[in-house]
A and B are shown apart, each in its own frame.
Chain A
Amino acid sequence: AQSVTQLGSHVSVSEGALVLLRCNYSSSVPPYLFWYVQYPNQGLQLLLKYTSAATLVKGINGFEAEFKKSETSFHLTKPSAHMSDAAEYFCAVKGSGTYKYIFGTGTRLKVLA
């Protein structure tokens, strides 16, 4: 079985500051991990995904995430926040050989001017 925990339903950062959104997972099989972003009144857009090729994954808009098996984590980071990064971010896990994504509850990022 798979599960995802996103720590912090709301995160606020100043413009230009580091963004860190936390995601921990559990999976009984090798996982695939995803980060999606949802802007207001829009669907979910894929930011990046981990598929076992490399533990540090770079995505769109300057985001990246590192897969740490020992910590069962897949935290999302961006060195410098921009106002346009304000959105809700979802972490998801899918087990190898399964079709179902398990989504976290989401983290709403607010960027302060």
Chain B
Amino acid sequence: DAGVIQSPRHEVTEMGQEVTLRCKPISGHNSLFWYRQTMMRGLELLIYFNNNVPIDDSGMPEDRFSAKMPNASFSTLKIQPSEPRDSAVYFCASSFVGQGDSDTQYFGPGTRLTVL
């Protein structure tokens, strides 16, 4: 399996621009997570999908952030408008939530976002 795929790996944009991050989870997984990693705050869960449905978006920082999962093999995280404080590494992770409760999460390589 190719693992979790994220694109782009690096994104540099100017303040006010729209940014879209993409994720392809591992085939057969039914859960998808978006995380943000910064030096100051560590790893933060932004949103969790189960069977393509958003279950918990309490970690989304504000209305400028939105996430979608139109099908089991694709998700996007959009920031509009972007701000310099959004600069971070954004990770997507997937897992199979079902039998055996441990539900190991598998992480993608991340997208490093820089907002100038």
Contacts and interface: CB of A to CB of B under 8 A. Distances in A.
Do A and B come together as binding partners?
A: yes
A100 interface: yes
Interface string B1-17: 00010000000000000
Interface residues of A, number: 22
B55 A99 contact: yes
Nearest to A42: B109
A97 to B, nearest CB: 7
Interface in A57-93: 90
Nearest to A43: B107
A34 B45 CA distance: 16
Nearest to B95: A99
Contact of A32 (B43, B50, B97, B102): B102
Contact of B102 (A49, A90, A104, A106): A49
Interface residues of B, number: 24
A90 B104 contact: no
B50 A99 contact: yes
B93, B105, B106: which has the most chain A beta carbons within 10 Å?
A: B105
B62 interface: no
B49 to A, nearest CB: 10
B48 interface: yes
Which 3 A-B pairs rank lowest in CB-CB distance, beginning with the nearest?
A43-B107, A44-B107, A51-B102
